[in-house]
Chain A
């Protein structure tokens, strides 16, 4: 079963920051937080991942709380092409028992509006 909780849907105005929350209160010390998104009829696209520290790349920023029980994905300037389902997933690294795989929940459907 998925170990994360996300709101089912969110709206965001084009050009504004989109802040997508995720709760993972039962996360273990060896689990990473991953974010993927899926645009209709395509495979999931990797966005970003982190363990403890905040992370930033060309697509987004990931803010993880100090207790690691929740995180926020930030799309700094949302565009219409960012409309997608966003999945927050906790993942055990491959080199641990039963590790490697992603267990998807229902995700958050983000609608970016003009």
Chain B
């Protein structure tokens, strides 16, 4: 079964440094989501793309976070500068959603530790 690929699996960085995460969704999936999950809590949506366009970034801290999906396929989430409170799991998900209801499929995430 096709999977959502994320890299790196783990990332340790010092505060004030820049960090980037990469996501490759399932082939043909139009919609891509980035979530953040703090330990002990449910995932929280950061940004939603439909093809290459952002459709919801209302919860993205835009002073330090940016996300792009230039060709409507893979995506990058960047944090600059990283803060201690950014330590979390960053999850990417994709869904087919071409005119019908389809589930989100998640990758196994990138675990970020900011020291």
Contact = CB atoms under 8 A, between A and B. Distances in A.
Answer yes or no: do A and B interact: yes
A43 B56 contact: no
Nearest to A103: B45
B101 A43 contact: no
Contacts, number: 58
A100 B48 contact: yes
Contacts of B44: 104
Residue of B50, B93, B101, B111 ringed by the most chain A CB atoms within 10 A = B101
Interface stretch (A15-23, A63-71, A75-83, A91-99): A91-99
A107 to B, nearest CB: 6
Interface stretch (B11-19, B74-82, B102-110): B102-110
A2 interface: yes
Interface string B12-55: 00000000000000000001010000000111110010100001
17 contacts: A2-B42, A32-B101, A34-B103, A43-B108, A46-B103, A46-B105, A46-B106, A49-B103, A94-B31, A94-B95, A94-B97, A95-B99, A100-B48, A100-B50, A100-B97, A101-B56, A102-B43
Contacts of A104: 42-44
Interface in A29-69: 32, 34, 41-46, 49
Interface of B: 4, 31, 33, 41-45, 48, 50, 55-56, 91, 93, 95, 97, 99, 101, 103-109, 111
Contact of A43 (B31, B41, B91): B91
Interface of A: 2, 32, 34, 41-46, 49, 87, 93-95, 98, 100-107
Given A94-B50, A103-B45, A104-B44, 16 more contacts: A32-B101, A43-B4, A43-B106, A43-B107, A43-B108, A49-B101, A87-B42, A94-B95, A95-B99, A98-B56, A101-B45, A101-B48, A102-B45, A104-B43, A105-B42, A107-B42
A100 B97 CA distance: 8
